[in-house]
Chains A and B, each alone.
Chain A
Amino acid sequence: MEPRLAVLEARLAALLGSEGVITDPVRLRTYECDGLMNHRATPAIVVLPNDAEQVAAVVRECVAAGVPYVARGSGTGLSGGALPRADGVLIVTSRMRRILEIDIPGQRAVVEPGVINLDVTRAVRPYGYYFAPDPSSQQICSVGGNVAENSGGAHCLKYGFTAHHVLACEVVTPDGELAELSADAPGYDLLGVFVGAEGTIGITTKITVRLTRVPETVQTLLAAFDSIEAGGTAVSAIIGAGVVPAAIEMMDALSIEAAEAAVRCEYPPGAGSVLIVELDGPETEVAAQFAEARRLCEDAGAFEIRVAADDEERALIWKGRKSAFAAVGRISPAYIVQDGVIPRTALPQVLARIDALSAESGVRVANVFHAGDGNLHPLVLFDDAEEGAEARAEEVSGAILDLCIEHGGSITGEHGVGVDKSRYMTRMFTDTDLDTMQMVRCGFDPGNLCNPGKVFPTPRLCGEVPGVRKGPHPFEGKADLF
């Protein structure tokens, strides 16, 4: 181990005790990746702090030693946002899992970053509330991770992303100070900058989340179509009719096959696509809109429509969808979960192009998506034992993102850029765009030690001259001003 890391290790052990510091190489390696396995790096040191003060102290030690650090929650991210640095410290928040306060009249709860998303809902459900962001990994992903990635989920079509449900964050800034960012504070919306910054401008240590009232009624239907196109038509028709479903999700034949193998969700056999439409709200409104959604599905050619009679049946409908990513492991040795966005109206064209891409390359692509807001999750399947298969899959995966950009969409809807997609940033943004974003980042983290190497394609130091500009960088030598 490098001498400065050895010194740092001793200082961290003094801070956290041996219980809170991992240095054994075999143990360290279990932290080499998050939910995305194709990027790996064994961290030099892992720390498991118990509270905000410890996180701040760890960051201060890292800064003093000039060692990069990365925060990690439950390790379920799908863009490698929590990929460790081999020369750095991984700060894991999984022991910071206390729900500190539940304020029902104020419709808010204060939680530590390691609290599991679904545990917030479990804690407030008896009062008739829940935490709305619902990533498919909600049973294990942490609220801190949700904040970093601005996570969405099936129901963000109606309820919005994590950003819409975070009222304040206590953060450890990249220089190791504890600061409070609040949505209520006048001036620049720094909380808005922080949420979704993928851990590059600080680590959240306490989150005040908004609680949402459990809707009076929920209705869920599952519609089966012969083809993806028919399903896509139904989606456009429903949204076009002014119905705002809580969620509207689509799966194609291949992902249905996987979900069936994994959780026996018993979706209608032979379906080319299934659509899950969920409406919630006041009873009369839901009843009227539900009838309309149902009719529009029939008009689009649904050959079977099932309506969940109770929560149990609703859970079964959702089980297939929520387990779809991991379930693909049943039908393919390896796969890439892609995350892209297109305008909803472009759904049929883009899906047809993905089909063509798949046929040309011989690479199978399963499609799962939040159809209501055009957030695609193509799952690109390959056999990692086969030579060159991963490269071919990567190529198809990248081509799908090109398709998204070409249709006016984005390279990520909710999984974040992380390390996996930083290389695609140049396809979406000009150098000037990226330089401007870097300036924001440098404003918070001039030392470039806070989760460096993520989001941006070409990491550079804050004083460095970006792009091919002539003359001195406007920020050169002034980074400490920020």
Chain B
Amino acid sequence: MSAHDDLPKLLDDCVHCGFCLPTCPTYVLWGEEMDSPRGRIHLMQQHVDGEPLSGPMVEHFDACLGCMACVTSCPSGVQYDRLIEMTRADVEREHERPLKEKAIREMVFQLFPYRRRLRALRGPLRAYQKSGLERLVRRSGVLERISPSVAAMERLTPPLGKARRLPELVAARGERRATVGMLTGCVQGEFFPGVNAATARVLALEGCDVVIPKDQGCCGALSLHSGREDEARAFARRTVETFESVDVIVVNSAGCGSAMKDYRTLLADDPAWARRAEAVAAKTRDFAEFLVDLGPRAKRSPLPVTVAYHDACHLAHAQGVRSQPRALLAGIPELTVREIAEPDICCGSAGTYNLFQPAAAGELGDRKAVNVDATGAELLVAANPGCSMQIATALRRRGAGIAIAHTAQVLDASLRGLGRDTVVARRS
């Protein structure tokens, strides 16, 4: 991240009031100062004061989900989001990780940001899921013994269906109201192709020409949120190049949207790119944010479903988008929205967190699943692929069956008059 010298100054903003503690998932789990935002800021200060990045220190930084709930709850305006990103970058630069950990991390970062590599995996994964091998492997616990991270990856993979390619342009229905670029995302695109298709359809039905550049790559969110700055910048530059010609960029994945809105800071120190990055950041909109601003035009058909809406951290805390998805859902006739208890506490997905910290992520997932289950809703709506996979897995562990969909899929069903079965039949 830019302006690294700012770190000591940003640390000074913390007045140690502790208001962040109850919203921090790891403090909620373990009740320890070092695993709270206030404690981590203290650790960062120790590092600034000359303490080397020791194993215990890194452990507590790694345990942070980066959910940004503390940013929302801080009355002093501490920019913890920037602090943790800078600190993670320090960790990557200065700290030597154990070999096995390094290998797993490298595998994740060489796989997830690359759609082609993910796509190449789809075929074998589908075969694995269909052949019954999946059940066998899970029962044997063999992956757990190889690496808990690998086991987590396997567990989290959603049931894969066929993926249809999206065209490069989906034309507006009726009079055109806007032309938007659409980010398809890596995980969203390969593991949840239905979400992208629904997003494009809804935008078109609401009168938007949807431009879906074929050669788009990863936005850099995973790398940015894990301290891999140079990698993140390279992804960001490419995404800026791809999308700078459109007026608005609509993003249906919370983590991606939040990273793209951060391009300004990410590329601030790069004179050739700073202004272009700022421009792209300024026209990035979350799907729900954009549609609420645009206003509804297409007719909503009734969808008699009880829905629990889950706030993705990178949507609610990082982008401040809370009311818009709820407004979109509430605009659907006969649909009931229920709130989930402890909405501010992360589900444990948090980008790569559930891969690198599977135990903590599992506990948080279970906590979220209990709260989701308690709503009695038939459908869970979340606007981030990571959350969907994480909560679905946790619900399965509980033996609770609930359908999961993205806001776009629910709207799509209503706009096209498909009826409730299309959304509630999609079991987790």
A residues within 8 Å of B by Cβ? 22, 24, 26-27, 29-35, 37, 48, 74-76, 92, 94-95, 97, 114, 116, 137, 139-141, 261-263, 323, 325-330, 333, 335
Contact = CB atoms under 8 A, between A and B. Distances in A.
Nearest to B57: A26
Contacts of A323: 19, 75
Contacts of A116: 22
B31 A26 contact: no
B39 A326 contact: no
B16 A35 contact: yes
A266 B13 CA distance: 23
B101 interface: no
Contacts of B38: 30, 75
Interface in B100-133: none
Contact of A95 (B19, B31, B43, B46): B31
B12 A333 contact: yes
9 contacts: A22-B34, A26-B43, A27-B60, A48-B32, A94-B33, A139-B19, A263-B75, A327-B76, A329-B77
Nearest to B42: A30
Contacts of B15: 37, 325-326, 328-329, 335
Contact of A140 (B19, B30, B42, B43): B19
B421 interface: no
B75 A74 contact: no
Interface in B35-72: 38-39, 42-43, 46, 51, 54, 56-57, 60
A263 B76 CA distance: 9
Contact of B75 (A29, A327, A335): A327
Nearest to A119: B22
Given A30-B39, A31-B33, A74-B21, 13 more contacts: A27-B56, A27-B60, A34-B16, A37-B15, A74-B18, A76-B18, A94-B31, A94-B32, A137-B17, A326-B75, A327-B76, A329-B15, A330-B77
Contact of A26 (B16, B17, B32, B51): B51
Contacts of B18: 35, 74-76, 137, 140-141
Contacts of B14: 329
B32 A325 contact: no
B76 A26 contact: no
B43 to A, nearest CB: 6
A328 B51 CA distance: 29
A124 to B, nearest CB: 15
Given A262-B75, A323-B75, A326-B15, A30 B34 contact: yes
B16 A33 contact: yes
Nearest to A322: B75
B31 A262 contact: no
Interface in B403-421: none
A48 B31 contact: yes
Nearest to B49: A29
A30 B43 contact: yes
A264 to B, nearest CB: 11
A116 B21 CA distance: 11
Contacts of A31: 33
Interface SS of chain A? loop
B59 to A, nearest CB: 9
A329 B19 contact: no
A366 to B, nearest CB: 13
Contacts of A325: 15, 17, 75
Nearest to B33: A30
A326 B19 contact: yes
B31 A97 contact: yes
* CB-CB nearest 4 A-B residue pairs: A329-B76, A326-B75, A323-B75, A94-B31
A139 B70 CA distance: 13
Contact of B46 (A26, A114, A262): A26
Contacts of A139: 19, 22, 73
Nearest to A114: B31
Contacts of B30: 95
Contacts of A328: 15
A464 B192 CA distance: 75
A325 B42 CA distance: 20
Contacts of B22: 116, 139-140
Contacts of A261: 77
B56 A326 contact: no
A179 B57 CA distance: 39
B24 to A, nearest CB: 10
B79 to A, nearest CB: 12
Contacts of B33: 30-31, 75, 92, 94
Contacts of B43: 26, 30
A32 B33 CA distance: 10
Contacts of B56: 24, 26-27
A144 B67 CA distance: 29
A137 B43 CA distance: 23
Which among B12, B42, B54, B75 has the highest number of chain A CB atoms within 10 Å? B75
A397 B119 CA distance: 65
A38 to B, nearest CB: 10
Nearest to B32: A48
A12 to B, nearest CB: 16
B418 to A, nearest CB: 35
Contacts of B76: 262, 326-327, 329-330
B32 to A, nearest CB: 7
Interface string B181-207: 000000000000000000000000000
A34 B31 CA distance: 15
A189 B42 CA distance: 41
A262 B77 contact: yes
A219 to B, nearest CB: 26
Interface in B201-257: none
Contacts of A335: 15
B187 to A, nearest CB: 34
Interface in B62-103: 73-77
A37 B21 contact: no
A27 B16 CA distance: 16
Interface string B157-183: 000000000000000000000000000
